[in-house]
Structure 1
Amino acid sequence: MANRDADITLLLEGTYPLVRGGVSGWVHQIIQGLPQFKFSLIFLGSKSSDYEEPKYALPSNVVHLECHYLWDGAFASRPKARPGNNAYFLKAEKFHEWFRNPRIGYDDELARQVLTGLGQDSGCTAEDFFYSEAAWEQLCASHQRFCAESSFINYIWTVRAMHAPLFKLASIAQNLTVTTGLFHSVSTGYAGFLGTILRHTTGRPLILTEHGIYTKERKIDLQSIFIREHRDYLSDAPDKGMKYYDQLWIHYFESLGRLTYCNANPIISLYERNRQRQIADGADAARTKVIPNGMNVAQFVALRERRPDKIPPVIGLLGRIVPIKDIKTFIRAMRSVVSQFPDMEGWIIGPEEEDPEYAYECKSLVHNLGLERNVRFLGFQKISDILPQVGLLVLTSISEAFPLVLLEAFASGIPVVTTDVGGCREVIEGNSEEDRALGAAGIVVPIADPEAVARACIALLTDEAKWYAAQRAGISRVERYYTEDIVLSDYMKLYTEALES
């Protein structure tokens, strides 16, 4: 493949370059840091109306970008009676048995036949799946076998919503115009499914990096925000087809994850706890590998020098204004902090456009708690302007992977209060005896506990000795274990080996 258009094609679901965030920042870091490789990008989004212009200027080694929106025109075709391909549906049903019972063993050849047949006249077109007699018979049999007591109408709409994006992904794979050396998906889910099809259609390897565990995040979403955010286009049925089938969606995303694990090598996580979770979810342990986040520490040294002599009475939260970041817990914590220290400020620093409704709710909460003078929404800001002004960084997320913002805070000389999610405890307290000997770089608190957050903030901001000890620990930890050079070296080696395969 010496004449390939790109060395690496990144498969990006809901992230770079149209959405800011930790994963997007990591992608930008990898592309910029490895200029010897040519990258192409495939962005997968929900609906085109959900996104604006790219948030990042693409580096010169990005040679191709294409954006696809899985729910645009998802059910645009008109119904037309057709017999359908019974032979294909029998193969698909056999493949689904593995999803239901992985112990029977993964059949790579069967997977290839089913996945490469999606959208093809020789296999199963979208019209066949939605309108054929063969599909109808299989739907009826599956409903009777697995959930006969539940609404058949809701079952139809749920299954239809699950499969509509898969046909779009098959079309993307079949119409790929870029020749590439390897595919690198930055999640399982839809991006991982696309990577799996591309691995079968091109014969090129697939690498997977999971920052957070996709299936875990979808479970959280299903319990809180996923249905609310997607209800308008997941189904057109009365009652929107989702009310009784949350568990079916969870199994669906678990299946997509397991399928990606069977097709990716290596399978990378950011910390050991997530590697163990991947293995528990079906990944082959021999394929798994941990590569933590890293950063260019040198560029933050100047920020330490700009810090004032006194610890600023400012508590900052740096992140997207979305429910999974649990901004409301931060706001409620600020009420307790302000009740003891009226001059304390809370800065919420991050974009609001991803979930305007949630951002409005957060601002209303600030108003209802009488915190307008103390809590400020600053929108997106350059961290080099903000971090020297902050006395403490807080993360109240209900789910995270390995937040780069923690490393940025450490490198800038700022202690952290964070919920006990993802790799946060490991970053704050260390993950080895040698690492832990550096001391704690902040305080870890439970999820959704405003009073615990407030106590931790007050403990650090009112005890200079404790604050400076945490500052020293954070600087030492990031400089020793989490540098950008380590990350780029690991990925350069992975890419080189895969391209030579």
Structure 2
Amino acid sequence: MKHIDICLLLEGTYPYVRGGVSSWVHQLITGLPHYKFYLVFIGGSKAFYGKQHYELPDNVVGLEEHYLMDRDGILSPRARRGKKQAFSMWQAILSRFSNSEQSLSADQLDILIQQLGHDNGLSYDDFLYSERSWQVLVDLYFSQSANQSFVDYFWTFRNIYSPLFTLAKIARQLPKATMFHSISTGYAGFLGALAKQSQKVPFLLTEHGIYTKERTIDLTQASWIKDRHSALDTSIHKKMELTRQTWISFFQQLGRTAYDQANDIIALYDGNRQRQIKDGAPVEKTGIIVNGINMQRFAQAYQQRNTSPPKVVGLIGRVVPIKDIKTFIRTIRVAINQQPDLQGWIIGPTEEDPNYVKECELLINSLDLKQHVKFLGMQNVAEILPKLGACMLTSISEAQPLVLLEAMAAGIPCIATDVGACKEIVEGMNDQDQQLGRCGYIINIADPNQASQALLTLLSDDEHWQQMSENGYQRVKKYYQEATMYQRYQSLYQEYLSWQE
């Protein structure tokens, strides 16, 4: 195995998913070619992912992949007692997971690494089939959720805690690295905490979106969790179904433990930094490194921009629910009442959630928009931006979208929901930045009427459009250059790497 400077821990992103965080990871690796990176990819099931979408740079010295929902082979159930000491340890760990206000301690992480999945500790067979495991589960059920379905509780318990066995095994087998860098909390962040304890090396945590917040959104909307309320309960303030809350609490604990173990915790903007602190990140560990882009890549696009806005609005992003493509489609439906020749282009990968893509296609058909809304798939962003009059994001959650910075570098005004750093990108992050002027409009989530009004206002005034075009270009040039981002990460990396010299 070649020397590893930085081991990157990646959950559900690079190199198997395109855009967003994956683009940033590729940018970071290629921008710091003097460091040797090793990649650990964590996914749900291998069936969810296809081929690699990125050619790995020369300074990537290895890649391993793990799928938390896939188990090797089929275990044969048989009666077993289970080790008393191992299950005493397990009960203590579960008690801490039930209390998301307190992270797992370093000693508890060491115990997980040493015992979880080991035959002389708590084996996976014992977790699934032993008498002591059953008793632990039953005791937890009666103490936490006796009014819920036991069958639901049983499978929730199994599904939540099974991945910990895989994570402990990964931590034991990771190659030696000078430092670990996770690009989220969640499973990857928890693995970072385990890896730090296993190898006694620094652990850096970067969050783009706030993982716990995004999983909470996903779980709140998840249709696979059935809300089981009594037919006699007519209260409009029903408590969140326990299965949802149990999953949310689990991810909160993963996040809190990652925050506790990380040496530094990086956010993309202050709003997310404040959310990290609220979720348990120690203030003194937190910091901000904004995204940056290579403006030279968009120099030709900037020169090719129109003097008046094309009647085309583009949404550049993955076609997934969190991007709320349906609101974008409805926005076009409202806007063409006043601008009949308007086109809406959806530019980005469609393979991640085929069911959602189908729903969007059905919505387009039902609103009679087949001549106005097009799925263009993956495109060269620098080539397509000059064809747009506006770049729109209708997301219900974002961090600091690179696509807005790229549009601004090409001189294309932006319309975005008031999520993540979108407002400070469009309007300015501080008094000095705000003096440059806005480069578009901020809109409410899921409001096609407001979105369409902003779009029509933007496209109807050439002089106003040109001014916003220039404002955005100057903002990126002054505050969002990728060289600054590289410099900040190089400084952090160098500090950690010097610990081993």
On whether the aligned pair clears a TM of 0.5, the verdict is yes
Answering whether residue 115 of structure 2 is matched by residue 113 of structure 1, we say no
Per-residue CA deviations over 1:230-281 (Å, capped at 9, x if unaligned) read: xxxxxxxxxxxx9751111111111111111111110111110111111111
Q: TM-score, normalised by structure 1?
A: 0.93
Residues 146 and 75 from structure 1, CA distance in 2 versus in 1: closer, same or farther, beyond 3 angstroms? farther
Match of 2:162 in 1: 164
Q: Which residue of 1 aligns with 2:14?
A: 16
Task: State the distance in 1 between where 2:102 and 2:368 align.
Answer: 59
What does residue range 146-157 of structure 1 map to in structure 2 within 5 Å? 146-157=144-155
Aligned to 1:223: 220
Indicate the SS of the match to 1:399: coil
Q: Which residue of 1 aligns with 2:359?
A: 361
Q: Where does residue 386 of structure 1 map in the other structure? A: 384
Contact 1:296 1:484 in 2 (8 A): yes
The CA deviation string for residues 186-217 of structure 1, in whole angstroms up to 9 with x for no partner, is 11111112112111111122111000000110
Kindly state the Cα deviation for residue 323 of structure 1 after the two structures are TM-superposed: 0.6
Contact 1:312 1:389 in 2 (8 A): yes
| Correspondence 1:260-409 to 2 at 5 A | 260-409=258-407
CA distance in 2: counterparts of 1:118 and 1:34, whole angstroms: 36
Alpha carbons 1:325, 1:395 under 8 Å: kept: yes
The one-character-per-residue Cα deviations of 1:319-355 (angstroms, maximum 9, x if unpaired) are: 0111110000000000011111111100000111101
Taking a change above 3 Å as real, the CA distance of residues 318 and 103 of structure 1, as seen in their structure-2 partners, is closer
Change in 2 beyond 3 A, CA 1:214/1:74:
farther
1:52 corresponding residue in structure 2: 50
The yes-or-no answer on 1:248 pairing with 2:271 is no
Q: Structure 2: how far apart are the matches of 1:273 and 1:104?
A: 23
- Preserved contact between residue 38 and residue 61 of structure 2 (Cα < 8 Å): yes
- Output the amino acid matched with 1:310: S
* Preserved CA contact (<8 Å) 2:335 2:456: yes
| Contact 2:100–2:252 (Cα < 8 Å) also in 1 | no
1:43 to 41, 44, 63: 41
| Range with bigger deviation, 204-213 or 118-127 | 118-127
Residues 51-109 of structure 1, C-alpha deviations (whole Å, 9 max, x = no match): 11110111100010111111123793222222222223223322333333466675322
Structure 1 partner of 2:182: 185
Out of 131, 135, 152, the residue aligned to residue 133 of structure 1 is: 131
Q: What amino acid maps onto 1:258 in structure 2?
A: R
Residue among 171, 194, 197 paired with 1:197: 194
- Among residues 207, 227, 236, which one is paired with 1:210 in the alignment? 207
Q: Which residue number in structure 2 is paired with residue 239 of structure 1?
A: none
| Number of matched pairs | 485
- Structure 1 residues 500 and 161 mapped into 2: Cα distance closer, same or farther (>3 Å)? same
Question: Among residues 472, 478, 481, which one is paired with 1:480 in the alignment?
Answer: 478
Letter in 2 for 1:119: G
Cα distance in structure 2, aligned partners of 1:354 and 1:141: 39
CA contact (8 A) 2:103 2:260 kept: no
Shift of 1:226: 7.3
Q: What is the identity, as a one-letter code, of the residue corresponding to 1:214?
A: Y
CA distance in 2, matches of 1:141, 1:364: 48
The farther-off stretch of 462-471 and 401-410 is: 462-471
Aligned mates of 2:223, 2:257 — CA distance in 1: 22
For the Cα contact (< 8 Å) 1:74–1:165, is it kept in 2?
no
The answer on whether the counterparts of 1:95 and 1:111 sit within 8 Å (CA) in structure 2 is no
Superposed displacement of residue 309, structure 1? 3.1
1:435 aligns to what? Answer: 433
For the 8 Å contact 1:74–1:164, the answer to whether it is kept is no
Shift of 1:40: 0.6
Provide the rounded CA distance (Å) in 2 between the counterparts of 1:122 and 1:469: 69
Q: Which amino acid aligns with 2:106?
A: D
Structure 2, unmatched stretches of 5+, are: 226-239
- Match in the other structure for 1:76: 74
Q: Which amino acid aligns with 2:330?
A: R
Query: CA 1:223–1:113 in structure 2 vs 1: closer, same or farther (change >3 Å)?
Result: same
Q: CA 1:414 to 1:273, structure 2 compared with 1: closer, same or farther past 3 Å?
A: same
CA spacing shift, 1:144–1:417, aligned 2, 3 Å: same
Q: Which residue of 1 aligns with 2:233?
A: none
TM normalised by structure 2 equals 0.93
| 1:465 shift after superposition | 2.5
- Following superposition, the deviation at residue 132 of structure 1 comes to 1.4
Which deviates the most, 340-349 or 242-251? 242-251
Distance 2:99 2:224 in 1: 26
**Corresponding residue number in structure 2 for 1:466:** 464
Give the structure 1 partner of residue 495 of structure 2: 497
| Contact 1:75/1:164, CA 8 A, preserved across alignment | no
Question: Contact 2:103/2:257 (CA < 8 Å) preserved in 1?
Answer: no
CA RMSD of aligned residues (A): 1.8
Distance 1:289 1:14, change over 3 A: same
- Cα deviation, 1:262-303, whole Å, max 9, x if unaligned, reads 111101111101111111111111111111111111221211
Q: Return the alpha-carbon distance in structure 2 between the equivalents of residues 436 and 185 of structure 1.
A: 33
